[in-house]
A and B are shown apart, each in its own frame.
Chain A
């Protein structure tokens, strides 16, 4: 059996600013999507591949940030070692891998996966592995076909349609070369580190040349800077040039993929995961609302409106009134309380949130410990998964309505298309605003 490892590139606290205010409460890789931290889905996919020996998180967050997460996943996936390797400075997506090459190669794995943290995906890793073993190249990347308008935001892959060999790879091209993009999922063998060494020395040579040209720049920096290589920009283009790169293109039917860049993008990501579970892992969804004690003095009439519209994830410790209507595409976090006659759709309700009776939450993220009054409305625009740059009256508008942690919304108020920073108290309605 092929001996495998997995690396998840988690980045650090200075990246993910577009994820504010949600990254103000929790590091972005741990933000819950479909009931689990964003990178839990990565760990889950990696840990299930036969031959997986170790999963390494690489990034520059404080070590403690992942302690609890690591303990949780380690106990769930006890046969795989799961560790965090901390870069003491940001080394770039390639630099971090290169820096920890000895750790990655320890135990002599045949191949290793590298996954970017900020993606939501069906992770067809076993299919990628099977594909790669036929190709005998240094690397296989996972590609996905997207709308041509979006191609220029990603790494663009030009394939030989017969062999799936990558003929050309270019990061964020100015003109559209093909509709296939690189998705931040890579499968490498150990030869990759030789290619990285090559990339580093060519970058160093380039920097030295620039250094010589301008005296003002202190030359000390160059050796460090050369190690800051970027996986896609510096390494993959070199691999493509050396005919060492193949691309496995995901199935538009069975697979899904999207980038999790902005806070709003967690809504479609949550939806994609939940819809995926509905078909592939129905046990990960919630089938019954948590029963609550109903006072015999206030009998609730059985109403056609009540119930769960799948797919929905409700944490077992959440308390959802039986007359509330939840779903589709909703995640409800631990200890959240959803009151009588509440409607929630296409939303993420985080830990310890309270939503009072007869309120309506659509296309929204309600942050930790927030409180929504009764008969209120929290509503975002039903933005499509990748259209994240909608504008309204010249202002950039998020597709989702986002309440940061500990936000309080009064009774009978509408908060529409707003981003609300933590600890705000909203007593009147707001529309299309960022509330500091």
Chain B
């Protein structure tokens, strides 16, 4: 089987992390984001994966070679010379996707969920249409494009799509995970094209597209706030499936994932919803919640860290207080006793004054 992951561009929404690391390689739950998707695809029998990228960073090619070997798969880079939207990349990668004339998966790289690809394949093959969209229910559908099914919502066949509905007609939104028969490629050209706006509506009119509800959580983690929320949802899901991988002990509160090489000092209170990466050092008397600390970062004694992403090899000073979705890029150093609220700090900066209001530190 085959799959295409829409990676896209520079991941500007996740800056300053993506200034030094391509977005798919930013660790989510101590594993590059894209590896969550690749592993789930491999588990469903996928052997060929196309990464649709608009640039081809060497660091990513190297990283993917490692996973090709480990997982025994082939990873193709399909590089767009101009942005082709969400559909164009499929045409560009048609030679791979058409192989064997079997269905292929397509997914957005920013999405995190339990990736039930096997169920999706079975569901898809059962209805026989050209494509299946995974949908997820949201509280406020007015911000999204919603999916309306036939027979007053009883059928899995999609009747139409409504962009940002002002009146409630459905709370099911496109989750950005699809499976298609190669036949769909006839509908797509190698030009900038939107799969949601230009490909799906005619398929719906033809009765060729169905929806399947995604069980469990779903989150687009393309920006820092959602990255943190998504981390919490993902940790809850891990706690249900494989609770043993989570940290436990008197200093741990709620769901905390800790790399075996991460260290915590004394008198700390870590959690809930914290991820500590490899080589991370947390000092004494540290309080941390709803935060992600990336590899080799240091959080010094008595710091208070909430809703913050601490970038690789960064340090947070003693008695500092970070809150309100602070994101520290690679190699950022925060002095002792500093208060930061919603600060985004670009790589290789040292901060020695308070940042009381959300601000970008260049």
Contact bitstring A303-318, B, C-beta under 8 A = 1, else 0? 1010000000000000
Would you call A340 and B337 a contact (CB within 8 A)? no
What residues of A have a CB within 8 angstroms of the CB of B234 in the complex? none
Bound CA span A431–B341, Å: 11
- B304 touches which of A300, A340, A375 (Cβ 8 Å): A375
Q: Which of A191-199, A240-248, A357-365 contacts B (4 or more CB under 8 A)?
A: A357-365
Would you call A341 and B302 a contact (CB within 8 A)? yes
With contacts A305-B318, A377-B321 taken as known, whether A358 is within 8 angstroms of B339 at the C-beta atoms is no
Would you call A412 and B356 a contact (CB within 8 A)? no
Bound CA span A301–B301, Å: 12
Q: A416 on the interface (CB 8 Å rule)?
A: yes
Bound CA span A431–B358, Å: 14
Would you call A305 and B302 a contact (CB within 8 A)? yes
Q: B161 on the interface (CB 8 Å rule)?
A: no
Most buried by A among B285, B286, B318, B323: B285
Q: A132 on the interface (CB 8 Å rule)?
A: no
Would you call A301 and B319 a contact (CB within 8 A)? no
Contact bitstring A405-429, B, C-beta under 8 A = 1, else 0? 0000000101010000000000000
For chain A, residues 372 to 402, give those with C-beta under 8 angstroms from any C-beta of chain B: 374-375, 377, 379
CB distance from B4 to the nearest CB of A (A): 45
Q: A42 on the interface (CB 8 Å rule)?
A: no
Bound CA span A21–B122, Å: 71
What residues of B have a CB within 8 angstroms of the CB of A300 in the complex? 266
Bound CA span A301–B285, Å: 11
CB distance from A430 to the nearest CB of B (A): 12
What residues of B have a CB within 8 angstroms of the CB of A360 in the complex? 302, 319, 321, 337
Would you call A303 and B319 a contact (CB within 8 A)? no
For chain B, residues 39 to 73, give those with C-beta under 8 angstroms from any C-beta of chain A: none
Q: A345 on the interface (CB 8 Å rule)?
A: yes
CB closest residue in chain A, given B288 = A375
CB closest residue in chain A, given B303 = A358
Would you call B337 and A362 a contact (CB within 8 A)? yes
Bound CA span A396–B162, Å: 50
What residues of B have a CB within 8 angstroms of the CB of A323 in the complex? 284
CB distance from A372 to the nearest CB of B (A): 13
Q: Give the number of chain A interface residues (Cβ < 8 Å).
A: 21
What residues of A have a CB within 8 angstroms of the CB of B287 in the complex? 358, 374-375, 412
CB closest residue in chain B, given A304 = B301
For chain B, residues 164 to 219, give those with C-beta under 8 angstroms from any C-beta of chain A: none
Most buried by A among B286, B318, B319, B339: B319
With contacts A358-B285, A377-B339 taken as known, whether A301 is within 8 angstroms of B266 at the C-beta atoms is yes
CB closest residue in chain A, given B266 = A301
A interface majority secondary structure? loop
What residues of A have a CB within 8 angstroms of the CB of B286 in the complex? 358
What residues of A have a CB within 8 angstroms of the CB of B339 in the complex? 377, 379, 414, 416
Would you call B304 and A358 a contact (CB within 8 A)? yes
Bound CA span A375–B318, Å: 12
Bound CA span A61–B330, Å: 61
Most buried by B among A323, A345, A360, A379: A360
With contacts A375-B304, A416-B356 taken as known, whether A340 is within 8 angstroms of B321 at the C-beta atoms is no
Bound CA span A403–B337, Å: 20
Q: B267 on the interface (CB 8 Å rule)?
A: yes
Bound CA span A278–B339, Å: 30
CB distance from B357 to the nearest CB of A (A): 9
- B284 touches which of A303, A343, A377, A379 (Cβ 8 Å): A303
Would you call A412 and B304 a contact (CB within 8 A)? yes
Bound CA span A351–B319, Å: 24
What residues of B have a CB within 8 angstroms of the CB of A305 in the complex? 301-302, 318
What residues of A have a CB within 8 angstroms of the CB of B323 in the complex? 414
With contacts A375-B287, A414-B339 taken as known, whether A343 is within 8 angstroms of B356 at the C-beta atoms is no
- A341 touches which of B285, B321, B337, B356 (Cβ 8 Å): B285
What residues of A have a CB within 8 angstroms of the CB of B301 in the complex? 303, 305, 341
Bound CA span A414–B338, Å: 12
Bound CA span A412–B306, Å: 10
Would you call A357 and B285 a contact (CB within 8 A)? yes
What residues of B have a CB within 8 angstroms of the CB of A362 in the complex? 337
What residues of B have a CB within 8 angstroms of the CB of A379 in the complex? 339
CB distance from B302 to the nearest CB of A (A): 5
Would you call B304 and A377 a contact (CB within 8 A)? yes
What residues of B have a CB within 8 angstroms of the CB of A377 in the complex? 304, 319, 321, 339
For chain B, residues 304 to 322, give those with C-beta under 8 angstroms from any C-beta of chain A: 304, 306, 318-319, 321
Bound CA span A272–B288, Å: 37
Bound CA span A305–B286, Å: 13
CB closest residue in chain B, given A429 = B323
Bound CA span A431–B342, Å: 14
With contacts A343-B319, A358-B304 taken as known, whether A301 is within 8 angstroms of B337 at the C-beta atoms is no
CB closest residue in chain A, given B354 = A379
Bound CA span A375–B302, Å: 8
CB distance from A337 to the nearest CB of B (A): 17
For chain A, residues 277 to 320, give those with C-beta under 8 angstroms from any C-beta of chain B: 300-301, 303, 305
Bound CA span A362–B317, Å: 15
User: Would you list 6 pairs from A and B whose C-beta atoms are within 8 A, ordered by A residue?
Assistant: A305-B302, A343-B302, A358-B304, A377-B304, A379-B339, A412-B306
Q: A323-B284, A379-B339 are in contact. List 9 more A-B contacts (CB 8 A).
A: A340-B267, A341-B301, A360-B302, A375-B304, A377-B319, A377-B339, A412-B287, A412-B306, A414-B339
The interface of chain A, by Cβ under 8 A from chain B, is 300-301, 303, 305, 323, 340-341, 343, 345, 357-358, 360, 362, 374-375, 377, 379, 412, 414, 416, 431
5 nearest A-B residue pairs (beta carbon): A341-B285, A360-B319, A358-B285, A343-B319, A375-B287
